[in-house]
Structure 1
Amino acid sequence: MKKIYTISALLAAFSIQAQFTVTIQTPPDFKDQDAILYTLNGSKDIIVSKEQSKNNTWTFKYPKNYMGMMKVYFPSSNNTFNFISENKNVNVKLETQTNKIKNVVYLDEANDIMSKIQEGSQKKELILPALSQIKEYYKDDTEFGKALKTEINRLSGGLSGVDQTQHPFIYYYNTNYNKYLSNDASKKVNQEEIITFIDKSNDMLETSSLLRPILVGYLNSGGNTNVTASVDKLLDRLKVETPRGQVVLSELIDIFDVYEMADYKNKYLNLAKDLKCTITDRLASTLKSNANVEMGAGFPNYKFQAPVNTTAKSLYDIKADKKVVVFWSSTCSHCESELPQLLAKYNDLKTKNVQVVGLSLDVDKDSYTKKISAFPWVNDSELRGWNSTYVDTYNVHATPTYFILDANNKIISKPDHVGDVLEYFKLK
């Protein structure tokens, strides 16, 4: 398999004239210096560039045409917020408190409109049903009845006032969200309609954040007994040799991973591995993250950030006959029930020269620090939650996730639950 290197895209990145800019302003007491800009490909965030603050302002220059979802991430404080691009300048002002984002003020037209539509959609789902019931008790010719009717009509409205020619992404996103992801049973679409949409849609499908939920809806519409037939029908139409087909294949592999549908994941992961055509960056990334954690593979080394209960600088520096690596979080309910079981057998594991290494997906330092005070094994965290680097490296989709490594850091087991870990070491 060969990987696509888009030379034109690389050259465009060095263009002096930016296609559009993204400007972020924060109050003077916001302490972060670095910010990272991301675009979207399916459900994967793609790093564009990293900028430093100048007088609490960050300016990103984007060199190409882009319409779709974007986000800015502040790694020091783990703040993040989302917005859209319609290939025009984006201007955002953040309101913060104790170095956390409290409100996002969109100063450009497209994001202001999108924000109001999103707010209206939430009100439509939560408030409109209640207003419709209340309306029965008030006559239309009363002052309150008239106001009630006006508000119901406003919330019932769709994209009125949005010029498709001026705001193509807003129109694309909201039209297709309402059509393919609506909770309204009367608007349900069939599989053929979804396939046609995915096949014929323009590039905004990949940048809209709609692809993953639409694919989940597509699989659900086919039923649990027809998963293979549904997937094969979709991929046959799209052709896995095409960029669209490979993005969808990558998304499906991840979906099956998240929902622990191992047989389906392996089937379509093997399909991806066997491709003889040129593969896209997106599919290459999925293949790499899965290859990193295959049985028998060398577990990639990890350089610790602020390790506890060890002087080791990296995972490989920890010497033991075997290691149990667990990805967890203090906010994870399953971790809350499983890790105490591991703790209860920790001394028995040590007598077998087994070391436990916990890599946390926490965000809140206080919560993480309090929790690890009870865990005597090696602990470390980037305090970036699902933005942590090891999420992609080790293909982590849920917590807790376990790996058992041998003395040479090769994967010898991938337990599903703590009981499987203890069973492996005959401690259950």
Structure 2
Amino acid sequence: MKKVLVLIFLISSFAQAQFSINGTLTNDIKTDWAILYRIEGAKQKFVTNTTIKKDTIAIEGKKQTIGTFQFDLPADAKIGSYRITYRTEAPGFVDFIFNKENVSFTFHPDYPEQTTLFSNSDENIIYKNYLSEVSVAQQKLDSLQITALRNPEVDLKTNYKTTLATINAIQQKYLESSNGMYVQPFIKATSRSNPSEIKTNAKEYMQNINATFFDNMDFSSKTLINSSFLIDRISDYIFYINYSEDLEQQQILYKNAVNKVFTKVKEVVFRKNVIELLINQFEQSKNLEMVDYLFDNYYNKLPKSLQNEKYKNEKLSLLASEVGRIAPDFSWKENGKNYKLSTLNDAKNYVLIFWSTSCSHCLREIPQLHKFLANKNELKAVAFSLENDEFGWNNMKTTLPNWHHVLGLNKWENKIARTYNINSTPTYFVLDSDKKIIAKPQDLEKLKAYLNNLEM
């Protein structure tokens, strides 16, 4: 009977076993919480959150506030890559590997990537040591390479080969010591394909980097997919390795880089996540050409079950009124005649104005703009007035002759205003004869300056 009770106790204890994640922030921090996520593909999934306990300690006679936190993970917690965040305004996170062991680390909250030190966790300690050791050797190799590019006459071949051998030895050492560990795919993938001989031609050097950038990365590895590793390398390759100051050439480089990335990314859900990530990144820089390119060549070719029409429509609608787009079309009736923005042909360029008779700025600026445009025959204004009723608009429009006047009822909820993402009045757009948006001046003075230059 005692043996049975002991067995039950051991089983119960094992079932309730848990792992702890302990962090120490080595400097004062303005937040009181920390959030734990598990990284899956290009996304992070919430696991739990906790508070940061603060304490004041004396270091070399000086008082310093530190913060500590702890997460408890159950015995069946998933092995993988995790992320702890501790602020919302500025970037602030620590990534680590969890493989059924306790994890403890310290870091400075303002410089987490450079300062994180693990005191508990074989997986994280070996990876951190590897990164520290190999980066020193790689920096020396890069320094030799840069010197050779700047001064081709300097003979650095022997130094280069010696340093390259050091890097290869470090790589082999850590591959052997990480055998059977979760971290090993990261060590394999981190290794750069350095050329066997030093390069003295910058073009050849960059071609080698471009051609070999992904050579050691296994894009089928679930370990790498479910981490930030591949996502970070993809972003580096597209936005840093492939760079040109010439805007037209930059677009070509972006497309070529994207195409190469998707020859590597085959796993279909991860592929979808990468596409969406890149769409979001290009959206932030308002690169409409690349957003369209990603939708046309990649997102729209995903299996229908993975495509999200709501996501697609939202993304495209957010950019519908950006420079480079054809202005979203709308129609109206004026003096008993039907008009449509897309078919207007009474000017070389158009100023589309979203305004309101209840807007004090509009009542001051619109008459000034009317006077400014009075003698500019190649410019025509389309004044779209956002109103709750037509009373004030009927009176005001008579003071603005020779303009096209459109009444937009329901004010901020007006369908056309929402299509143009209007959230303030007045808002100005300049259109060419094809109704393509060529400028979005922020205020009246910038609008006048743009229109004056347009006529030159």
TM-score under structure 1 length normalisation: 0.50
Larger-gyration structure (1/2): 2
TM-score under structure 2 length normalisation: 0.47
